Amino acid sequence: MDVKKLFSLEGRRGFITGGAQGIGECLANAFSELGADVAIVDVNQDKAKAAAEKIAGKTKGKVIAYGCDVTSPESVDKMLAAYISDFGRLDYAINNAGICAMDGALEITPKTFESVIDVNLNGVFYTARAAAKQMVAQGGGGSIISTASMSAHIINQPQTIAAYCASKAGVVSLTKGLAVELSKYHIRVNCVSPGYIQTELVASLKDMLGIWLGKMPEGSRLGFPEDLIGAYVFLASDASAWATGSDVVVDGGLYNPLKTAETKKGRPCGRPFAFTVKP
Ligand code: NDP
């Protein structure tokens, strides 16, 4: 068996939503470095374009940016039509765009609750379905990967993010449902559940870093986007040919179903906080 070929992304083509920054940008860079063609899809087209140019300048690969709001099926269809005219076929789709709202359950407005579900769950469905339709039409299968979260498995504390947890649990269940439906087309559908990753998404919560770390096994640390590359490469490549409906948890040991109810007190982060906070 050619093991290097098994993990290869050479010549694979696909899109990454929320690809203009954070986890998505890191994946776009990694996939391009590994020889894949990458479409960076993000709600802010200028930011997506800047990320695409930066990555293509470094890797010399094919990286194109598309502005798209994943909460709008029309916007997703338009993006996919433009993508197909530029790339010709779709081998992988990474549904990664996500938002979080900290408002507690007693205070959150219906509008804010709906916006979290809209981006994190409905948006994943719209992009996954559009990708699946394209993969069925072109034949030969494909790999659909969504970014779920530790929040599908635990309830984060002390932040109050019930809407976010519900949306991410929905992504895990949606993944399993789509995997069963799309199996006959050789389309694999999986998700990744990251633990705490130092990106803009958690920038406003940096006072909680020590508390989160206290909930992790001793010796562990908070994550960086780069810690997730292996899981997505596995799921996009032939190495995961027999994996579908899977949820790959990459969280530094945070979610440990066998641990006791006891949680340690918060401890200092011990590492520099590695990103800039949006003004
Ligand atoms: P970031 O906020 O850094 O990046 C998310 C990107 O998604 C941003 O560029 C954002 O654009 C974009 N986006 C938001 N709404 C839409 C939309 N409607 N349509 C298209 N793009 C949109 O977050 P992360 O990189 O940290 O998160 C990526 C994914 O990982 C999310 O699904 C998140 O829930 C998940 N995750 C993150 C964890 C973490 O600790 N960071 C832990 C577990 C899961 P803009 O900024 O312009 O709004």
Contact predicate 51/25, CB 8 Å: yes
State which of 46, 76, 99 you would mutate to test the pocket of ligand 1, scoring each by most atoms of that ligand within 8 A of its C-beta: 99
Q: Is residue 193 part of a domain?
A: yes
Any bridge partners for residue 190, and if so which?
A: 145
pLDDT tens readout for residues 19-47: 999 999 999 999 999 999 999 999 999 99
d(CA 76, CA 35): 25
Q: Is residue 270 part of a domain?
A: no
Tokens of 228: 């997730």
Residue 200 near ligand 1, beta carbon < 6 Å? yes
Q: How far is the CA of 205 from the centre of ligand 1 (A)?
A: 15
State which of 25, 76, 201 you would mutate to test the pocket of ligand 1, scoring each by most atoms of that ligand within 8 A of its C-beta: 201
Q: How far is the CA of 116 from the centre of ligand 1 (A)?
A: 11
Q: Is residue 107 part of a domain?
A: yes
d(CA 27, CA 19): 8
- pLDDT value of residue 58: 98
Residue 19 near ligand 1, beta carbon < 6 Å? no
Q: What is the torsion angle, in degrees rounded to the nearest 10, for the CA atoms of residue 79, residue 82, residue 87 and residue 91? A: 30
Least confident window among 84-93, 112-121, 197-206, 221-230: 197-206
CB atoms within 10 A of CB 43: 20
CA-23 nearest atom, ligand 1: 25
Ligand 1, atom 3, residue with closest C-alpha: 22
CA-97 nearest atom, ligand 1: 7
- pLDDT value of residue 268: 52
pLDDT tens readout for residues 137-183: 999 999 999 999 999 999 999 999 999 999 999 999 999 999 999 99
Active site residue 164: yes
- pLDDT value of residue 278: 47
CATH code for position 65: 3.40.50.720
Residue 28 near ligand 1, beta carbon < 6 Å? no
Q: Is residue 72 part of a domain?
A: yes
Which of the two residues, 14 and 210, has the higher pLDDT score?
14
Active site residue 206: no
Q: Is residue 137 part of a domain?
A: yes
Q: Is residue 275 part of a domain?
A: no
Q: How far is the CA of 84 from the centre of ligand 1 (A)?
A: 24
Q: For residue 10, give the DSSP letter.
A: T
Q: Is residue 256 part of a domain?
A: no
State how many domains the chain has: 1
Q: Which residue range is the domain that position 33 belongs to?
A: 3-250
Residue tagged active-site, from 66, 83, 92, 164: 164
Active site residue 237: no
Q: Is residue 164 part of a domain?
A: yes
